[in-house]
Amino acid sequence: MEFSYSDKVLGMRPSIIRELLKQMSDPALISFAGGNPAADSFPVADIRAFSDTLLESDPVGMLQYSVTEGYGPLREACRAFANRQWPVVKESDELIITSGSQQVIEFMAKLLCNEGDVVAVEEPAFLGAYNSMRSFGAELRGVPLEPDGVNLEALEAAFAAQPKPKFFYCIPNFQNPTGYTTSKEKRKAIYELAVKYGVPVLEDDPYGALRISGEDVPPIKHFDECGAVVYAGSFSKILCPGMRLAYCAGQGDFITKMVTAKQGSDVHTNVWAQRVCERMLTQTDMNAHIARLQAIYREKANYMMEKLDEKLSGAVSYVRPEGGMFIWAKLPDEVPVGEFARRCLEKKLAVVPGSAFYTDSAVEQPFVRLNFSTPTKEQIDRGVAVMAEVLAEMTK
């Protein structure tokens, strides 16, 4: 039977990262293309112990349906976790537990966007966010990103232009794909512009705990006094992505609408994962766990940058990330990035062309996103060597 697909589905684009990862069954393939946490970062022993204890003491509570907004003790634990350094989630804010922060992005677009509405987005930015917004018929208005955050003049122009954006999407901490960190001054300015023009901000913060250098910076939500900022925090990068757990904080009426949206989507987030996560947050030393993660990623990031400097100095440039999982590398202008990625793949190295992270992915960009969290040191060494081999071949 031939299916007649909706216009929204026909406008959706497959994720190039997911397509590349389909080839990961080849054990010889080295991937700088994904964004998976380091396998040795997962707190397996604690997760197993809490799961066993909870299944023994309260099997029905672990296995039965639950409330849509999420397990109450976990919501309170998330509030405390978000506020561990600064006031972020206000007393007036409500929280909902979601199936990953991707679901927060989806619900934001579902609640605010009609067909043809505009969303302002950092450019480049997380491809999954672009796809979620487009799936609800939104048109994307890209705002150029700089090493210290979005260009403020361009952001104000995007907010002032008609039609006015329904919201602005950003990742201030160790942004995906660039690794850039938005400065404190720009975070304040983003909030002020949002209030001035009446454009809500969706602040996506999956990487904030993974700082490897520099000083911590408070979230945009910290400056929010009028409910202009919706904050998404995730446990995929600090516990494990397989649990599919995130939380969203925002003003009460908005979260109530999000609860309704979730009831029509998946009813509630995985109860087992919520209960185990609550124990992790309240009965383990999360500061020590996060410090261990930071040490893992600091070592890997520094090693990749050392190898880039050693093997590709003068050929590839990048801004040193202060955290997260990615290095945004600029290739020589004369090198076609799509061809570079194809040749790397022939030599068993997967990299993502930078164009995948722009609102118009058909326009080639001189960048590749390099993930340092997943590969081993040996794979990083070999992968950078492949990049050097391919660049040498293409710039003879």
CB 384 within 8 A of CB 312: yes
Residue where one domain finishes, among candidates 235, 257, 283: 283
Identify the pLDDT of residue 16.
Answer: 55
Q: What is the pTM of this model?
A: 0.94
Question: pLDDT confidence of 20, banded at 50, 70, 90?
Answer: low
Can you tell me which residue has the tokens 């506020």? 83
> Which has the closest alpha carbon to 76: 95, 62, 63, 56?
95
Return the pLDDT at 11. 61
**Mean pLDDT over residues 337-345, rounded?**
95
Average pLDDT over residues 262-270: 93
- Calculate the average pLDDT of the chain: 94
Assigned domain for 1 exists: no
Instruction: Print the domain residue range for 34.
Output: 7-43+288-394
Say if CB 180 and CB 214 are below 8 A apart: no
Tell me what pLDDT residue 3 has: 74
Per-residue pLDDT for 200 more than 80? yes
> At residue 77, what is the residue type?
A
pLDDT digits (tens, 9 = 90+) for 68-91: 999 999 999 999 999 999 999 999
Which tens digits make up the pLDDT trace of 23-45? 556 778 999 998 999 999 999 99
List, for residues 89-113, the tens digit of each pLDDT value: 999 999 999 999 999 999 999 999 9
Q: Note whether 202 and 243 are same-domain residues.
A: yes
Residues 185, 219, single domain; the answer is yes
CATH code at 378?
3.90.1150.10
Same domain, residue pair 58 and 114 = yes
Q: Which of 280, 275, 211, 198 is nearest to 239 (CA)?
A: 280
Q: How far apart are CA 233 and CA 100, in angstroms?
A: 9
Quick one: pLDDT at residue 12?
A: 62
Nearest to 47, CA basis, from 55, 37, 38: 55
- Whole-angstrom CA distances from 281 to 96, 210, 215, 227, 303 are 16, 16, 24, 26, 31
- Which neighbouring-strand residues pair with 233? 205, 247
Between the ranges 18-22, 247-251, 392-396, where is the mean pLDDT highest?
247-251
Lowest mean pLDDT among 17-26, 346-355, 362-371: 17-26
Domain for residue 2, yes or no? no
Token pair belonging to 110? 């579902």
Q: What is the mean pLDDT of residues 275-298?
A: 97
Q: Of 264, 283, 302, which marks where a domain is finished?
A: 283
Decide if pLDDT at 220 tops 60: yes
Looking at 242, 258, 283, the residue that finishes a domain is 283
Q: Given this model, what pLDDT does residue 22 score?
A: 59
Q: How many structural domains does the chain have?
A: 2
Better pLDDT: 3 or 366: 366
Question: What's the whole-number mean pLDDT along residues 153-166?
Answer: 98
In a domain, 19, yes or no: yes
In the sheet that holds 118-123, the strands lie side by side as 93-98, 246-251, 229-234, 201-205, 168-170, 118-123, 139-146, 149-150
What percentage of the chain has pLDDT greater than the value 70?
Answer: 95
Q: Which among 12, 30, 10 is positioned nearest to 21, based on CA atoms? A: 30
Write the DSSP assignment of 225-281 as a string of letters. SSS-EEEEEESTTTT-GGG--EEEEEEHHHHHHHHHHHHTTTSS--HHHHHHHHHHH
Pairing of strands 349-350, 246-251: unpaired
**Residue 118 to residue 169: CA distance in whole angstroms:** 11
Q: 15 with 127, same domain?
A: no
Give the type of residue at 11: G
Q: Are 370 and 304 in contact (CB under 8 A)?
A: yes
